[in-house]
A and B are shown apart, each in its own frame.
Chain A
Amino acid sequence: MKNSKQRGNSLEAAYRIRHQEALTPIAEALCQHITEIFKGEPRIDRITTRAKDPESFLKKASTQVENRIKYSEPLSQIQDQIGARIITFYRSDVERLDAIVRRFFKPIEFRDRVPDSEWEFGYFGRHYVLILPSDVKSDSIDKNKIPEFFELQIKTLFQHAWSEADHDLGYKPGSIPLGPDEKRKLAYTSAQAWGADQIFDELFRARVPAGE
Chain B
Amino acid sequence: MSVQHIHAFLIHPGKRSTERAQIVGTTVSLTGGMFDLLDGIYAKSDRECDVDITFSPTADGQQQNDCRDLVVAYLGHPDLPKGKKIAERLAAHTDGRSGLGLLFLIAGKVGREHKILLSRFPTDSAIYVDENPNALSVQFLERVFMKNKTSYKAVVYQHASLRGGFWSGRAIDKQLNTLSGEPSNYWISDFLLSDFTTTPAAGTRRLAIALRDAAKKAPLPIKQELTAAGTLAGGLAGQRLSINDFGSRLGLSQAAKNAIADELKSSQAVQEVFQFDVATYKSLVAYKSVELSNGALLTADTDKFDRVFQQEPVDGGEGEVRFVTKGKVVDEKLKTAR
Chain A interface residues toward B at CB < 8 A: 29, 37, 72-73, 76-79, 102-111, 129, 131, 133-139, 148-149
Q: Is the CB of A103 within 8 A of B61?
A: no
> Which of B61, B160, B198 is close to A133, meaning CB atoms less than 8 Å apart?
B198
Q: Is the CB of B201 within 8 A of A73?
A: no
**Interface size, chain B (Cβ < 8 Å):** 33
Q: Is the CB of A77 within 8 A of B161?
A: yes
Q: Considering the chains assembled together, what is the distance between the CA atoms of A98 and B21 in angstroms?
A: 43
Q: Is the CB of B61 within 8 A of A72?
A: no
- Would you give 20 A-B contacts (Cβ < 8 Å), ordered by A? A29-B265, A73-B163, A76-B159, A76-B160, A76-B163, A77-B164, A78-B164, A79-B164, A103-B200, A104-B199, A104-B201, A106-B198, A108-B57, A131-B168, A135-B202, A135-B265, A135-B266, A137-B265, A137-B268, A149-B167
Q: B63 at interface (Cβ–Cβ under 8 A)?
A: yes
Q: B205 at interface (Cβ–Cβ under 8 A)?
A: yes
Q: Considering the chains assembled together, what is the distance between the CA atoms of A129 and B164 in angstroms?
A: 12
Contacts of A149 in B (CB 8 A): 167
Q: Is the CB of A148 within 8 A of B168?
A: yes
Please name the residue on chain A nearest to B58 by beta carbon.
A109
Q: Is the CB of A108 within 8 A of B163?
A: no
Q: B70 at interface (Cβ–Cβ under 8 A)?
A: no
Closest chain-A Cβ to B198's Cβ sits at a distance in Å of 7
Please name the residue on chain B nearest to A136 by beta carbon.
B265
Q: Is the CB of A105 within 8 A of B62?
A: no
Q: B82 at interface (Cβ–Cβ under 8 A)?
A: no
Closest chain-B Cβ to A13's Cβ sits at a distance in Å of 18
Contacts of A105 in B (CB 8 A): 199, 202
Q: B39 at interface (Cβ–Cβ under 8 A)?
A: no
Q: Chain B interface mostly helix, strand, loop or mixed?
A: loop
Q: Is the CB of A134 within 8 A of B57?
A: no
Contacts of A111 in B (CB 8 A): 60-62
Known: A106-B54, A108-B55, A139-B267. A133 touches B163 (CB 8 A): no
Q: Is the CB of B63 within 8 A of A104?
A: no
Q: Is the CB of A110 within 8 A of B266?
A: no
Closest chain-A Cβ to B321's Cβ sits at a distance in Å of 36
Q: Is the CB of B163 within 8 A of A137?
A: no
Q: Chain A interface mostly helix, strand, loop or mixed?
A: mixed
Q: Considering the chains assembled together, what is the distance between the CA atoms of A137 and B264 in angstroms?
A: 10
Known: A73-B164, A135-B266, A139-B267. A110 touches B61 (CB 8 A): yes
Q: Is the CB of B265 within 8 A of A134?
A: yes
Q: Considering the chains assembled together, what is the distance between the CA atoms of A139 and B168 in angstroms?
A: 19
Contacts of B199 in A (CB 8 A): 102-106
Closest chain-A Cβ to B263's Cβ sits at a distance in Å of 11
> Which of A106, A109, A110 is close to B197, meaning CB atoms less than 8 Å apart?
A106
Contacts of B202 in A (CB 8 A): 103-105, 133, 135
Please name the residue on chain A nearest to B160 by beta carbon.
A76
Closest chain-B Cβ to A150's Cβ sits at a distance in Å of 13
Q: Is the CB of B165 within 8 A of A76?
A: yes
Q: Is the CB of A108 within 8 A of B54?
A: yes
Q: Is the CB of A107 within 8 A of B267?
A: no
Known: A73-B161, A73-B163, A76-B161. A108 touches B268 (CB 8 A): no
Q: B195 at interface (Cβ–Cβ under 8 A)?
A: yes
Please name the residue on chain B nearest to A137 by beta carbon.
B266
Please name the residue on chain B nearest to A79 by beta carbon.
B164
Contacts of A72 in B (CB 8 A): 163
Q: Is the CB of A135 within 8 A of B269?
A: yes
Q: Is the CB of A108 within 8 A of B164?
A: no
Contacts of A109 in B (CB 8 A): 57, 61-63
Q: Is the CB of B198 within 8 A of A76?
A: no
Chain B, residues 198-242, CB within 8 Å of chain A (1/0): the string is 111110011000000000000000000000000000000000000
Q: Considering the chains assembled together, what is the distance between the CA atoms of A118 and B168 in angstroms?
A: 36
Q: Is the CB of A108 within 8 A of B63?
A: yes
Q: Considering the chains assembled together, what is the distance between the CA atoms of A181 and B167 in angstroms?
A: 43
Contacts of A79 in B (CB 8 A): 164
Most buried by B among A29, A102, A138, A148: A148
Closest chain-A Cβ to B108's Cβ sits at a distance in Å of 19
Closest chain-B Cβ to A48's Cβ sits at a distance in Å of 20
Known: A104-B201, A105-B202, A111-B62. A134 touches B272 (CB 8 A): yes
* Residues 267 to 288 of chain B near chain A (Cβ within 8 Å): 267-269, 272
Most buried by B among A37, A104, A110: A104
Most buried by B among A78, A102, A105: A105
